[in-house]
């Protein structure tokens, strides 16, 4: 059999060792190019960076994400620690009431345990209406062992407004 440019005649499409190495290197470069393109789209989707800058930017981006994850884990531990400080026999958390007011709109969020005193949604709505607010939405959600009340209201007369401290005081009287 004769050889013709690194190929043996009669063996069909077999490539020489050098051609196989070149083909593998070309495939590796294409794979790396694709990986860098994917990395670039995650790190800086607005513009393409040269590879060295992309790697530096990616490393700093990963460090920022790691710090963010650590701070969120710490925050989670502190929040769970507040709930975890309850005596062993009790599985409920104290009611959490939060009231936010912006201009003439006031929003109330109340989270209670199912084992606690039942509060009817219409009682919460009537407090808002008696204080001069028009209720825009009122929701009640049962989430596992908790009940979440959400009420959003707007002052009937914007110039007079709503007194959030008075509403909070009356809501606390109903809850406790």
Is 1 within the bounds of a domain?
A: no
Work out the pLDDT band at 174, boundaries 50, 70, 90.
Answer: confident
Half-sphere exposure of 47 (CA within 13 A, CB side): 4
For residues 69 and 122, membership in a common domain is answered with no
Domain count for the chain: 2
For residues 107 and 78, membership in a common domain is answered with no
Structure tokens at 136: 């825009």
CATH number at residue 49: 4.10.280
| CA proximity to 92, closest of 111, 73, 109, 78 | 111
Residue 78 exposed, middle or buried by CB count within 10 Å (0-12, 13-18, 19+): exposed
Is 59 within the bounds of a domain?
A: yes
For residues 169 and 126, membership in a common domain is answered with yes
| CA proximity to 120, closest of 81, 82, 147, 143 | 147
More confident residue, 100 or 145: 100
For residues 78 and 109, membership in a common domain is answered with no
Is 57 within the bounds of a domain?
A: yes
Is 52 within the bounds of a domain?
A: yes
> Helix, strand, or coil here: 112?
strand
Choose the final residue of a domain: 29, 49, 82. 82
For residues 111 and 133, membership in a common domain is answered with yes
Work out the pLDDT band at 147, boundaries 50, 70, 90.
Answer: confident
Cβ–Cβ under 8 Å, residues 111 and 70 = no
For residues 77 and 107, membership in a common domain is answered with no
Is 27 within the bounds of a domain?
A: yes
Is 9 within the bounds of a domain?
A: no
Q: Which domain range does residue 153 map to? A: 96-175
Q: Tokens 């925050």 correspond to what residue? A: 75
For residues 103 and 151, membership in a common domain is answered with yes
CATH number at residue 160: 3.30.70.260
Report the pLDDT value the prediction gives residue 114, as an integer from 0 to 100: 78
> Helix, strand, or coil here: 171?
helix
CA–CA distance from 77 to each of 73, 89, 172 (Å)? 6, 21, 28
pTM strictly above 0.75: no
Is 8 within the bounds of a domain?
A: no
For residues 164 and 135, membership in a common domain is answered with yes
pLDDT digits (tens, 9 = 90+) for 72-127: 988 887 777 655 555 544 445 668 889 988 888 899 999 888 777 788 888 999 99
Residue 127 exposed, middle or buried by CB count within 10 Å (0-12, 13-18, 19+): buried
CA–CA distance from 41 to each of 38, 45, 58, 95 (Å)? 5, 4, 11, 45
> Helix, strand, or coil here: 56?
helix
pLDDT, the chain, mean: 82
Work out the pLDDT band at 144, boundaries 50, 70, 90.
Answer: confident
For residues 69 and 117, membership in a common domain is answered with no
């Amino acid at each position: 059999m004769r050889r013709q440019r690194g190929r043996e005649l009669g063996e069909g499409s077999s490539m020489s060792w050098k051609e196989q190495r070149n083909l593998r290197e070309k495939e590796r470069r294409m794979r790396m190019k694709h990986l860098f393109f994917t990395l670039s789209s995650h790190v800086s989707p607005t513009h393409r960076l040269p590879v060295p800058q992309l790697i530096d930017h990616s490393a700093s981006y990963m460090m920022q994400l790691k710090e963010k994850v650590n701070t969120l884990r710490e925050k989670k531990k502190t929040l769970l620690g507040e709930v975890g400080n309850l005596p062993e026999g009790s599985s409920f958390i104290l009611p959490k009431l939060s009231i936010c007011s912006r201009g003439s709109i006031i929003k109330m969020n109340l989270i209670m345990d199912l084992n606690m005193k039942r509060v009817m949604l219409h009682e919460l709505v009537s407090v808002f209406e008696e204080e001069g607010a028009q209720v825009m939405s009122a929701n009640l959600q049962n989430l596992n062992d908790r009940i979440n009340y959400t009420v959003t209201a707007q002052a009937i007369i914007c110039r007079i407004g709503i007194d959030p401290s008075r509403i909070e005081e009356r809501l606390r009287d109903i809850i406790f």
